[in-house]
Amino acid sequence: MVRELNNRDASFEQDFKALLAANRDTENDVSGVVKEILDDVKKRGNQALFEYSKKFDHVDLDDTNMRVRSDEIKNAIAACDDDTLDALKLAAQRISDFHIRHIPEDDNLTDNTGVKLGVRWHAVDAAGIYVPGGKAAYPSSVLMNAVPAKAAGVPRIIMVVPAPNGYINPLVLAAADIAGITEIYKIGGAQAVGALAYGTETIDPVDVIAGPGNAYVAAAKKEVFGTVGIDMIAGPSEILVVSDRKNDPRWIAIDLLSQAEHDEVAQSILITDDAEYAKQVIAAVEEHLATLPRADIARTSWDNNGCVITVSDMDDAPALINRIAPEHLELALENAQGFSKKIRNAGSIFIGRYTPEAIGDYIAGPNHVLPTSGSARFSSGLSVLNYMKRNTVIECSKASLEKIGPAAMTLATEEGLEAHKKSIGIRLQKD
């Protein structure tokens, strides 16, 4: 049964801390195996990719068929429903329109000493997008990871996707085409991450790797960080819905299940100020579970990880939300906009009764790649900034160096770095 908490109870703080401390990421430690795979790819390149693809995905790859050909992409697009393609194109345009607004501008100034300072922004040279493969593939993830890279101005975007038994979901290839990706390889797992990070005879290495994957992919991304940048290490999906009794309980129940159906370790939390309404939502969850195609997964998630929190007053909720720092936060409330201003820690906030989280997964525009497991306390969702870097610029004239140089020489002396001091002083004839 779903866990129920009430902030009036004497044990609430202890129970709430237990909720926060629960570890839902129960995957076994695969770091040792992943390191071996990565080392093998670094040493043997393509041959390692071929062997791992045969072992794990049961597909025979070689130098001639590892890369997806243009005719394969065309055939995949032809196999897709026109309405679905139109939906993908609309989503891609909305994602691009939103993300392109957040490209930072260069900044230049001359301060009161005459020193010229500035910041210059550049896209990375190459980005690698990892996409899970098989029939349960997610073309929306292709768009969410690739379109911001395109908007940022990354000149080379490469996609890797496993092809179990030789199969790639046509919608994944169609989404890649819509996002402007032309370089696609039929590889997955830790070995694909290794190929992106280190390169092989066929695949040139990239600068940033983004995209979701299983425990092996996550461990591989963590391992190659430093050689390349990564988007984040995402944990199980989660949603927190704050609802008053003016919502249809069936709406809120299905919103909770929209994340529970992802996998057994997803988490759905409801906060409400009405105990009777909480019972109605719980009952509505049971009604939906009777008909959902992925009910077994959703029920395991709801029973093991779900939680319903009843507060004595909605004013108590923001402090709890900020401690949870949820990936997705729905505010189905009166004055939801005003309430949202009290929230500091959340990946994405969905405001109002007519803004279900699912709209953000596909079509709204902001990214659905978001921080999980409380990491919204210190990190943000995927954006163009993940594919960009900045250079700082400093330019001194003789006159401005004369104004600020002596102070720098003093600090260098205190730190015992004589060459630092002299490199300034020699220009000021004070060495």
Q: Which of 214, 230, 246 is the last residue of a domain?
A: 230
Per the residue annotation, which of 99, 262, 288, 328 is the catalytic one? 328
369 within some domain? no
Residue ranges of the alpha helices (H) in 79-124? 82-100
Annotated catalytic residue 276: no
Whether 52 and 180 map to the same domain: the answer is: yes
pLDDT digits (tens, 9 = 90+) for 386-411: 999 999 999 999 999 999 999 999 99
389 within some domain? no
CA pair distance 292, 294, nearest whole angstrom: 5
Q: In what order do the strands lie in the sheet with 229-230?
A: 183-185, 156-160, 126-130, 208-210, 229-230
Domain count along the chain? 3
Annotated catalytic residue 327: yes
Whether 313 and 404 map to the same domain: the answer is: no
Q: In what order do the strands lie in the sheet with 116-123?
A: 107-110, 116-123, 388-395
371 within some domain? no
Whether 205 and 247 map to the same domain: the answer is: no
CB 42, CB 345: distance < 8 Å: no
Segments in the chain below pLDDT 70:
25-28, 134-136, 431
Per the residue annotation, which of 264, 327, 330, 357 is the catalytic one? 327
Whether 243 and 289 map to the same domain: the answer is: yes
CA pair distance 49, 47, nearest whole angstrom: 5
Task: Report CA-CA distances (Å) from 27 to 20, 24, 130, 214, 298.
Answer: 18, 9, 20, 9, 18
CA pair distance 241, 124, nearest whole angstrom: 37
Please tell me the total number of residues recorded for the chain in this structure.
431
372 within some domain? no
CA pair distance 402, 268, nearest whole angstrom: 61
Which structural domain, as residue segments, surrounds residue 416? 396-428
Q: Which of 187, 211, 230 is the last residue of a domain?
A: 230
User: Tokens 């996002």 belong to which residue?
Assistant: 179
148 within some domain? yes
Angle (CA) 124 125 130, round 5°: 80
Q: Which of 202, 230, 258 is the last residue of a domain?
A: 230
Whether 344 and 315 map to the same domain: the answer is: yes
Whether 147 and 224 map to the same domain: the answer is: yes
Closest CA to 254 of 330, 156, 198: 330
385 within some domain? no
Whether 345 and 404 map to the same domain: the answer is: no
Whether 50 and 101 map to the same domain: the answer is: yes
Whether 226 and 240 map to the same domain: the answer is: no
Q: How many CB atoms lie within 10 A of CB 95?
A: 26
Whether 82 and 189 map to the same domain: the answer is: yes
Whether 93 and 240 map to the same domain: the answer is: no
pTM of the model: 0.94
381 within some domain? no
Whether 240 and 180 map to the same domain: the answer is: no
Q: What is the pLDDT of residue 134?
A: 65
The CATH number of residue 323's host domain is 3.40.50.1980
In this structure, what DSSP letter does residue 225 have? B
